A = this chain, B = another copy of it.
């Protein structure tokens, strides 16, 4: 290993802090996650956190961005590999079972969304993030429809809004009552794809 330049060293500090923050925010939620503990667990002090991130909200926003990249990467790579529509829907069902089943992510997304109450700046940041997520879903729907030669029952944006709504609402209910089925989310996707 060559020596790190100052820039590389700082990038590593930031990376370590961010990776540690992901775990803490997922495990404890926004309010209960402590910047002090995150810093300590990452091997730094709280000052390092504030040197690399503006405040707790911005750190959480970056944490959520990273988590979303991971989750979306999982589903897009798997969907691209499937040929028939049935297989794609089945693959989506397995992804949903795992992902919506992970209540830590849903609860963190939702808890952070509620913070839109406290500041217009946060609200805009959250709105932008949600917009991006809907865009990703719209792309997936369009891709699935085109590569299978079907016409969706809804235009991509409306489809994405509907799918994300069910995903959020069902995810939250399943975080509270894990015995609830994932069917509504999978069925929603299937109906949109086949119902044209």
List residues of chain A with CB under 8 Å of any chain B CB.
Answer: 28-29, 31-32, 107, 110-111, 113-114, 116-118, 123, 126-127, 130-131, 158, 161-162, 164-170, 172-173, 175-177, 180-181, 183-185, 187-188, 191
Considering only CB atoms, which chain B residue lies closest to A191 in the complex?
A: B191
Q: Please give, as numbers and ranges, the residues of chain B lying within 8 Å of A175 by CB-CB distance.
A: 113, 116
Contact B118 A110 (CB under 8 A): no
Point out the residues of chain B lying under 8 angstroms from A169, CB to CB.
164-170, 172
* CB neighbours of A126 from chain B (8 A): 176
Which of the residues B32, B118, B130, B187 comes within 8 Å of A32, measured between beta carbons?
B118
Give the nearest-CB partner of A188 in chain B.
Answer: B162
| From B131, B165, B176, B184, contact of A170 by CB (8 A) | B165
Interface pair A172/B117, CB less than 8 Å apart = no
Cβ contact within 8 Å between A172 and B29: no
